[in-house]
Amino acid sequence: MQRVTTRLADGRELLYYFDGPVPGDGVPADRRDLAPHRPVSELRYDALRDEWVVVATHRQGRTHLPGDDACPLCPSTADRLSEIPARGYDVAVFENRFPSLAAAAGRASRTPGRTPDTPGLFAVRGGSGRCEVVCFTSDHEASFADLPAKRVRTVVDAWCDRTTALSELPDVEQVFPFENRGEEIGVTLAHPHGQIFGYPFVTPRTRRMLANVRDHRERTGRNLHEDRLNAELAHGVRLVARTERWAAFVPAAARWPFEVHLYPLRHVPDLPALDGAERDDLAVVYPEILRGLDRVFGVRMPYIAAWHQAPVRRDRESAWLHLELFSTRRAPGKLKYPAGSESGMDVFINDIAPEHAAALLRGDEEAA
C-alpha cells in the first residue's frame, strides 16, 4: 500500500491509498473555487444519561441522494469537479465537508439554560474531533462485497493508518471506523464508502462494555470477550465463518434480524495492532461474510458495519477489537424498525432466532 497526501481547495486534507505504486503523474490539484472550511458544532451534556449529544446545525445543508451523474465521491471529470480531483483512484480518504465533529469547531460561547442553581447541568463545549469519509473504490456501482482481497487489504491498511493518525490528535479519545450501506439504513450517498469518527469522548456503548469487562475480570480473573468468543466457538451452532485468525458468529442475544460479530482470535486493542497475516486474513473473510448477507434474500442487504476499538488513552487492556455487522432487513420487502421498546427503552425485540439467522448466513440448505 502506498499513500499520497494533499489538500482540497478549501483546506481539507485528502489522502489517496494505492494498491500498488503511485501513478507516475502523481495526483491532480482540486480546481474548485471553495471558501475556507470552518464548520461549527457543539457538544451538549445530558446529565441524566451521562452522555454527550452532538449539535451540528450546518449539516442540514449536506448533499442528499444526488443522481449518479452528480455523485460527489466519483472521480472528477473535465465537465464535473467532485470531492476527489483524480480521474480514478483506489481508496481515497478526506475530511468530511459537513462534519459532525471538526478540529476547527472551537469552543462553545454559551451555555443554554444554565443558571447559578444548575452548575454543570447544561454543560456545553465545542464539537472538536474529526470526521472523515473513506471511499473504497472509484466504481460507483460496486459494493464492499465486490472488492478483490487486494483492495480490501488497502482499505484495512487505510483504516489502520487513519486510526493511528486520529489517535494522535489531542482532542480525540476514541476512533470509530464504520460503513452504512443502503437507503433503508439512512445512507444519503450511494457510492461505496464508509466513515471514520474521532470522538472527543469515549462513547456510551464502549463505556458500558468496558465496565462489564472489568466486572467480569474482578469476578473470574478472565476477559469477557475471550470467554464469549470461546463459548461461541465451542458451541458452534451460531458460527458463520472461521479462519486461522478470525471467527464470525451471530451472538446468542442478537438484537437485529441479521447480526454478525467478527473477532480476531488474538487479543488486540485496535486495528493498527493487527499484524500482516491478520490483515490479509481479514481481507478475505470480511467480504465473504458480506456476500453471505446478500445471499440470504438474493438482494443487496442494507447494513451497518461498526468497528469497536479500544479508547485512545484508557482501558486498552480490557478492550478487544471486533466488528459488529447488522442489517435491519427481516424479510424480503420488510424492515425491522426501532420502535417503542427499542427507541424508548433500549430493549430490543428480535423476530428471527439467532441460530436460524446463522444458518441462513452460512447458506445451509435446510434453513432456506
Whole-number Å distance between alpha carbons of 248 and 326? 12
CATH number of 2-33+55-107+127-198: 3.40.50.2300, 3.30.428.10, 3.10.28.10, 1.10.1370.40? 3.30.428.10
Q: Which of 86, 67, 68 is nearest to 77 (CA)?
A: 86
**pLDDT (tens digit per residue) in 266-305:** 999 999 999 999 999 999 999 999 999 999 999 999 999 9
**Contact between residue 147 and residue 137 where contact means Cβ atoms under 8 Å apart:** yes
Low-confidence ranges of the chain (pLDDT < 50): 108-109
Cβ pair 158, 92 in contact under 8 A: no
The residue ranges of every structural domain in the chain are 2-33+55-107+127-198, 205-367
2-33+55-107+127-198 matches 205-367 in fold: yes
Which residues, 6 or more positions from 73, have their beta carbon under 8 angstroms from its beta carbon?
Answer: 82, 83, 84, 133, 135, 140, 189, 191, 193
0.85 exceeded by the pTM? yes
Q: What is the pLDDT of residue 109?
A: 46
Q: Provide the annotated active-site residues.
A: 193
pLDDT at 60: 84
Residues facing residue 179 across a β-bridge: 305
From the options 3.40.50.150, 3.40.50.2000, 3.30.428.10, 1.10.1330.10, give the CATH code of 205-367: 3.30.428.10
